[in-house]
Structure 1
Amino acid sequence: MKNALQNHLAQNFPFLIGKKLLLATSGGLDSMVMVDLFRNLSFEIAIAHCNFQLRGLESFGDQNFVQNYAEANDVTLFLTQFDTEAFANDYKLSTQVAARELRYSWFYELLQTENYDYILTAHHADDNLETVLIHLIRGTGLDGLTGIPPKNDKVIRPLLAFSRSEIEQYANDNTIEWREDSSNASDKYLRNKIRHNLAPILKDLNPDFLTSFQKTQTYLQEAKAMVDDASFLVYQEVAKEKGTDVYFDLNQLRKLPNYKSYLYHWFNGFGFSAWEDIYDLVDAQSGKQVFSEEFRLLKNRDFLILSPIPSGDDEDVYFINKNQKEIKIPLKLSFSKESVISLLQNTAIFVDEDKIWYPLVLRRWKEGDVFQPLGMDGKSKKVSKFFKDEKLSLIEKENTWILCSDNQIVWIVGKRQDERFKIKNTTKNILKIQLK
């Protein structure tokens, strides 16, 4: 297995050569074999062990075992303990999800603080099979059927090409010691049920089932790569990015015979789950929305708009003092005194500074706001009516800021100046306010 792993690394992970590697080590069979292999292949490694304190004395037995191994073999060890159950309760997570969140957050912290290049985990081919079967049982798309990725950002899984039986054989041949997790014997978790009951049946039906499964995985991964390429090309035709928002042209989208598949592919990574609601947005009334925890999709006339859910306080207020040259938060605005005015545009206004009361106030617009649009001869208009006339989407309204002087609107920033502060023949001091 050592030679096979060496060839596998050379062919698929050549970038690991000469890098500092952090090996996630539980003390179990798979991780201890991984540590032994990478030590014998002369990589620069350290091992990282998490004590999740979920199995009482057994958890501390695993910790002591890994500590003793590191000391005996002069391997750098990083060790931490988590109150996993408390974390799971606080954040309303399952124990397994909580453990994963804690583990990988700590691993990435070690990469940064200790200057390691990659995290290696000991997932193998049987783990991959179990994961795909879990996805299949729960319902999944192409992503779920492709299983555990060999590389995910800084996380590398070098043993995915090897079976559990190969790993066990290597351990026996090289008298490697490990700790057995007693929870692996229980069928409490779905993964264990599959491992103990379903996977053996599949292997009994076809002794080469794992090999066939790995070939199927390769085909599915190649198919997914083609889907990704096609999705990207269609995205370029249909989508337009504006800042943090993405606008999807529904007229273009409807021309696709399978547009629902593209919607799923584009939005799957944003935490959405109400897929039928998303598909219905295409023909829904303008203003309909679908939410995930951090994002939303808005139907606005002939567009679907994907945007982050605003996290800021609507009551945020920013003050601008006299002689201040610029601000950078929440918008980039510059203030300069001019002797003449240039062509008026939405990104810049010229005002009579003698009519300004400082400090100027920059805030979100509110229901009930009224201003006198430039060019309307002093007639007042509700800001909400102005937005409606301008056909602004809900997202554009939420992202609009108002510049005020003594509770009077000077500028709906980037959209319309107020008549009351315009330049006249009698103006002596001209202030230019520009949106960068």
Structure 2
Amino acid sequence: MMNTSYSKLLRKVITLQRRENLIPPESSILIGFSGGIDSSCLAVAMLKLREFFKLKKIALLHVNHMIRGEESYRDEEFAKSFAQKLSLEIFIKRVDVPKIAKEKGENIEACAREERYRVFEEVRREENFDFVATAHHLGDLVETILLWLTRGTGLEGLLGFEPKEGYIVRPLYLATREDIKDFAKKEGIQWVEDSTNYDLSYTRNLIRHRVIPELKKINKNLEETLLRMREVLKEENRLLNELTAGAIEKVRKEGRKAFLELDPAIQRRVVVQLYGIKNFKEVSKIINRIKKGDKL
């Protein structure tokens, strides 16, 4: 039986673990720690559930992206202090994201994410940890789905992200922002606020602070509703992937004629798989060329 004295957040972490077998026993976990409310609550939650998970080791990893000037170094110092209070080992890595983004000609947000996950995997390997736990939660999942929906996407975009992807695990996957705020208040958890979190020039912030509150006026249980929708779409996507795999085998053997006999939905998926292209317009162009006589 689940301990009813656990907070809502801890109960959701336990539910996810039992459902997905997220973290095997005797694992060592490296927590991606920004110092914000989400990662601070994740660190405390994993410590409280250390025996439940049968964890061998827990440590923190803070990546200073060097984007926000002095604030970046304030966050770094907070991370060190937080780890010390919890008697946790912490790894600090500095990455000059603005410089790298400029050199690559990339969007700074995308570059920061890319570098952060690169560092996660680098430290995980070097320090022999089994998994990296990130503080992504149900609110983040909803934002991701709405972001992809706005930009235009197929089923994959509407699935957002998984609770476990390779060596990345997301124990807070079922928790809402409200669950996290309640847990922080109940446990007296301290955190630092990223000043860019309220900058509406960032698309994700616009969705978080303007779009989602309006949608929740229509459906107060928006997060849970989209999670259920995601589970249905995930099953349908699995079936379509199986059909696509069979179609690809047939096309490899029989060529263009077999491709033209496929349902349009499967044609699109075959092109995405064979050409590695996700842009809808590009996929449509390739299909039209094949119809006009091009070979696959």
> Is this contact kept in 1: 2:134–2:168, CA < 8 A?
yes
**Hey, what does 1:414 align to over in structure 2?**
none
* 1:71-220 alignment, distance < 5 Å: 71-220=84-233
**Hey, what does 1:230 align to over in structure 2?**
243
Residue aligned with 1:16, SS: coil
Shift of 1:15: 4.0
Shift of 1:7: 3.0
How many positions carry a matched residue from both structures?
281
- Segments of 5+ residues of structure 1 without an aligned counterpart are 241-247, 286-298, 305-436
d(CA) in 2 for partners of 1:260, 1:232? 11
**Hey, what does 2:10 align to over in structure 1?**
2
Change (3 A) 1:50 1:36: same
Q: Deviations over 1:109-128 (max 9, x none)?
A: 11211111111111111111
Higher strand share: 1
- Asked whether 1:262 is paired with 2:275, we answer no
> Is this contact kept in 1: 2:272–2:283, CA < 8 A?
no
Find the partner of 1:48 among 27, 44, 61: 61
- Segments of 5+ residues of structure 2 without an aligned counterpart are 1-8
> Is this contact kept in 1: 2:65–2:94, CA < 8 A?
yes
d(CA) in 1 for partners of 2:144, 2:215? 15
d(CA) in 1 for partners of 2:89, 2:212? 37
Q: Deviations over 1:322-365 (max 9, x none)?
A: xxxxxxxxxxxxxxxxxxxxxxxxxxxxxxxxxxxxxxxxxxxx
Q: Deviations over 1:308-329 (max 9, x none)?
A: xxxxxxxxxxxxxxxxxxxxxx
- The TM-score with structure 1 as length reference comes to 0.62
Change (3 A) 1:213 1:268: farther
Q: Structure 1 residue runs of 4+, over 6 Å off? A: none
* 1:268-347 alignment, distance < 5 Å: 269=276, 274-284=282-292, 299=294, 303-304=295-296
- The TM-score with structure 2 as length reference comes to 0.89
Shift of 1:264: 4.1
Shift of 1:5: 1.4
Percent pairwise identity: 28
Letter matched to residue 3 of structure 1: R
Bigger radius of gyration, 1 or 2?
Answer: 1
Q: Deviations over 1:363-399 (max 9, x none)?
A: xxxxxxxxxxxxxxxxxxxxxxxxxxxxxxxxxxxxx
d(CA) in 2 for partners of 1:41, 1:131? 28
**Hey, what does 1:33 align to over in structure 2?**
41
**Hey, what does 1:380 align to over in structure 2?**
none
Change (3 A) 1:199 1:268: farther
Q: Deviations over 1:53-107 (max 9, x none)?
A: 1111111110000011112222111111111111001011000111011111111
Higher RCO (CA 8 Å, separation ≥ 6 residues): 2
Shift of 1:14: 4.8
